[in-house]
Structure 1
Amino acid sequence: MYEPLRIQAGLRIFRRGEKAFGPGIARLLEGVEELGSLRSSARRMGMSYNKAWSVLHSCEAHLGYPLLHRHSGGAGGGGASLTEEGRRLLSRYRAFEAEAETMLDQLARQYFDDTV
């Protein structure tokens, strides 16, 4: 049975020559949205909390705005939630990614449909 080739690309957003956003931070933010915690999101990805914090901080610095609201601990513990800017960026990134994937599939058929 013939199965067409599929092209897969990881999309990254750069600002001033530095990576500002990509698939890893997108997954991290989706985890925060779902789990309510940067630590829990990082743990699910197999990433240390320090690494997650570093990636997030670097991303926010490159973008120039915060992606998370951080909630201090206490009786109920701490947590995090996405800022409006963070939610908007994540939504746009995923929409762009889906459209780019569709276009890549079209290009793959155009250029590689007769291979393999």
Structure 2
Amino acid sequence: MRLAFKIWLEQNGKAFGDGPCDLLQRIERTGSLRKAAAEIGMSYNQAWRLLRTLEGRLGFPLLVRQVGGAVGGGSTVTPQARRLMHSYRAFREEVADALNRLFGAHFSGEE
């Protein structure tokens, strides 16, 4: 038996979790919402709508978007989004450690 869990933050509905954090990390790495969405098998429109919804719930922008042109467009993760990602990952890691300790204390030796 193993422990499995999901964790997310809510503010007027689901506002942030593993999926959005992963998407933002990919945007930060690729510089593109379209490329990041494609990497996880999500359509650009779906990813764009998700981020717009989350921005509304969180009350701050997650991306700065550059419209395409001769050199192409792109997306940059905002400083607020970067802080949120950092805090969420640190919090999630601590939660995982705590839950694994509790799981071990209550289910050690269980088959």
* Structure 1 residue corresponding to 2:47, chosen from 52, 60, 72: 52
Alpha-carbon deviations, 1:10-34, whole Å to 9, x = none?
A: 2110113x10111111111000010
The answer as to 2:91 corresponding to 1:96 is yes
Structure-1 separation of matches of 2:4 and 2:87:
19
Q: Is the 8 A contact 1:6 1:105 kept in 2?
A: no
Report the counterpart of residue 21 of structure 1 in structure 2: 16
TM-score of the aligned structures, taking structure 1 as reference length: 0.92
Shift of 1:72: 1.2
Q: What SS does the corresponding residue of 1:93 show, helix, strand or coil?
A: helix
Report the counterpart of residue 11 of structure 1 in structure 2: 7
Structure-2 separation of matches of 1:55 and 1:105:
31
Unaligned runs of 5+ in 1: none
Structure-1 separation of matches of 2:62 and 2:25:
11
Q: Which amino acid aligns with 1:7?
A: L
Runs of 4+ in 1 over 6 A off after TM superposition: none
* Structure 1 residue corresponding to 2:110, chosen from 92, 105, 115: 115
Q: Percent identity?
A: 42
Report the RMSD for the aligned CA atoms in angstroms.
0.9
Q: Which amino acid aligns with 2:93?
A: A
TM-score of the aligned structures, taking structure 2 as reference length: 0.96
Structure-2 separation of matches of 1:8 and 1:34:
28
Shift of 1:105: 0.7
Shift of 1:114: 2.2
Structure-2 separation of matches of 1:102 and 1:6:
14
Q: Is the 8 A contact 1:42 1:48 kept in 2?
A: yes
Report the counterpart of residue 42 of structure 1 in structure 2: 37
